[in-house]
Amino acid sequence: MEKWTYEQWKELLNNKADAVFYLYTPICGTCAVASKMMEVVQAMRPNLPIGKADINYEQELAIDYEIESVPCLLIQKNGIIRHKVYAFQSVPHLLDKIS
């Protein structure tokens, strides 16, 4: 997963590209587990743009999207946010949300 900025995310939204944005903080234990799950998701969906960002450095994004906690996964289809996932239950669950 490559690191994205809020500007890169907005560009994907404007281009109506399907994409996934994983938000985390480095000191969050749950985020560490979620990061491993996202690595598996990325391996299973190699053509889907998946980015990540440390929410500590993207405060405008956190405010605009009303991010309640981390980890958080923003899933967009055709330029519209379809899901905001906080419960990273399992890789199959995440793949189902993305599909």
Give residue 58's domain range: 2-87
- pLDDT confidence of residue 79: 86
Q: State the CATH number of the domain containing residue 67.
A: 3.40.30.10
pLDDT of residue 28 exceeding 90, the answer is: yes
- List CB contacts of 10: < 8 A, sequence separation 6 or more: none
Pairing of strands 72-77, 19-24: antiparallel
- What is the per-residue pLDDT across 55-75, written as a single tens digit (0 to 9) for each? 999 999 999 999 999 999 999
- HEC states along 12-51? HHHCCCCEEEEEECCCCHHHHHHHHHHHHHHHHCCCCCEE
Q: Is residue 93 part of a domain?
A: no
Q: Is residue 97 part of a domain?
A: no
Q: Is residue 71 part of a domain?
A: yes
Banded pLDDT at 15 (limits 50, 70, 90): confident
Domain total of the chain = 1
Q: Is residue 50 part of a domain?
A: yes
The CA distance from 66 to 1, in Å, is: 23
Answer for the pair 6, 58: CB distance below 8 angstroms, yes or no: yes
